[in-house]
Amino acid sequence: QRLNNVFQFIDVGRQDPTKKALRVRKNEFVEIYQPFQPKQVSAQAHRCLDCGNPYCEWKCPVHNYIPNWLALASEGNILEAVELSHQTNSLPEVCGRVCPQDRLCEGACTLNDGFGAVTIGSTEKYITDTALAMGWKPDMSKVVWTDKKVAVIGAGPAGIGCADVLVRNGVKPVVFDRYPEIGGLLTFGIPEFKLEKTVMSRRREIFSEMGIEFRLNTEIGKDVSFESLLAEYDAVFLGMGTYKYMKGGFPGEDLPGVHEALPYLISNVNHCRGWEQSLDDFVDMKGKRVVVLGGGDTAMDCNRTAVRQGAKTVTCAYRRDQENMPGSRREVTNAKEEGVKFLFNRQPVEIVGDGKVEGIKVITTELGEPDEKGRRRPQAVPGSEEILPADAVIIAFGFQPNPPEWLVGNDVHLDDWQRVQAAEESEFSFQTSNPKVFAGGDMVRGSDLVVTAIYEGRKAAEGILDYLDI
């Protein structure tokens, strides 16, 4: 069938799933894409050239067998496709929704040379969503159970990736999280217009049935001591993320009306789901002129949340140009479509106001020499200050690691940036300086991506299996 259609990539262009009408999607906290239809999936999957050396696989952080499951999906063989997809990824339907594919798999597709990449992410989402709707569940019948058990701290993508590989190899994972639901930032961070919360609650049921035990509303270091986990379990995995908000360091950051991005997003999730403790916790932008500072995924999520809350205007100020934005281009496009105004090359210097936010002073920048990450440094243009009027400012400058003190007391070493030291190349993958403790995800690499956290959790599980000699 594939041979009959070698020119499919010319005859059929790249196609994304249809987005809901703007007037509808701007007002609701549900995913904006309509489900991909079987015909669309088949047409897209057929476009794959099945390159001998598939760059998409190399660029995908979990090295998914992309051309293989595209071929299975194009034939409608969903049950084989979903099995293959789960050999490399613990949450394929999540990655299909939130990975910045333009920078990863799709960015590496050979068809980018003038034809448009195969729609890989949406097909990945389709395969698992369809299989689950058909009643598919991971087959655990061949698992040989051992007597080993591992404590996993954090039910985010890293912890889940680790627990998934452990349980499939007969090791009992007990996952602790301080939050009432699994997912980490997938649940308490990323908004529902990108990833609906039911995706993770459905996953909780599946993982629980597989044998993963979740102990939620349990904070290690407060409700349960780290030392007791070291004593009771054969190994411990740390997947606790990065939660220290980066500050701008300019005057006015403490004025009423200035909000940190993550608490703002979480307050909206809690409000929409009926999880909030008190109505005072809800930060509502209805009728306000909102300025969001930052250019990453978190900033885009804040912009689009404010739009949906009924903000009068939403302006996103970013200190570099659009080319140098760190987040997914797809989400920037979505934000623009939904009415967010972007001001590029603007660096905030002061939040102004008398007892509350009234505006933000920004200065125009020009891009200079590249920094150590290869991104060009913004340099202020003297005399170019202007004040953007605002009733609320949301600061989305990113996150830094905040490892708890008890780690160091238990021989877990940190690097100069407070990241837990754990290397893939160690004798046991992602083992820390305490041989019984492994780590992965944002707390090891600094705040990054869902898919890289999943990868490190899975690799750490392989390290734990080797360490336990299983």
The residues binding ligand SF4 (CB under 6 A) are 60, 62, 64, 66, 89, 95-96, 99, 101, 104-105, 120-121, 124, 451
Residue indicated by tokens 């969903």 = 78
DSSP state letters, 135-175 = T-----TT----S-EEEEE--SHHHHHHHHHHHHTT-EEEE
448 scored as a contact of ligand FAD (CB under 6 A): yes
Helices and strands, number each (H, E), in the chain: 17, 16
Nearest approach, Cβ of 450 to ligand FAD (angstroms)?
4
282 neighbors 272 (Cβ within 8 angstroms): no
Kindly provide the residue ranges of all beta strands, DSSP E only, lying in 295-404, ordered along the sequence.
313-317, 341-343, 346-352, 359-370, 376-380, 386-389, 392-395, 399-400
Cβ distance to ligand SF4 smaller for residue 98 or 363: 98
Q: Pick from 43, 190, 258, 407: which binds ligand FAD (CB under 6 A)?
A: 190
Cβ distance to ligand FAD smaller for residue 66 or 240: 240
Enter the tokens of residue 58: 């190399």
221 scored as a contact of ligand FAD (CB under 6 A): yes
Cβ distance to ligand SF4 smaller for residue 89 or 347: 89
156 scored as a contact of ligand FAD (CB under 6 A): yes
Residue whose Cβ sits closest to ligand FAD: 156
- Report which secondary-structure segment, H or E, holds 13: none
Q: Looking at 45-53, 217-225, 271-279, 430-438, which segment touches ligand FAD (CB under 6 A)?
A: 217-225
Q: What angle do CA 230, 231, 233 make, to 5 degrees?
A: 70
383 neighbors 352 (Cβ within 8 angstroms): no
Cβ distance to ligand FAD smaller for residue 81 or 262: 262
Q: Looking at this protein, which amino acid is placed at residue 313? A: T
Nearest approach, Cβ of 99 to ligand SF4 (angstroms)?
3
93 scored as a contact of ligand FAD (CB under 6 A): no
Binding partner of residue 153 among ligand FAD, ligand SF4, none, CB cut-off 5 to 8 Å per kind: ligand FAD
Cβ distance to ligand FAD smaller for residue 174 or 210: 174
Binding partner of residue 73 among ligand SF4, ligand FAD, none, CB cut-off 5 to 8 Å per kind: none
Enter the tokens of residue 194: 């990108």
Binding partner of residue 105 among ligand FAD, ligand SF4, none, CB cut-off 5 to 8 Å per kind: ligand SF4
* 317 vs 337: CA distance, rounded Å: 17
CB neighbour list of residue 413: distance below 8 Å, 6 or more residues apart: 420, 421, 432, 433
Enumerate binding residues for ligand FAD (CB under 6 A): 98-99, 153-159, 176-179, 184-185, 189-190, 194, 219-221, 239-241, 262, 265, 297-298, 301, 441-442, 447-451, 453
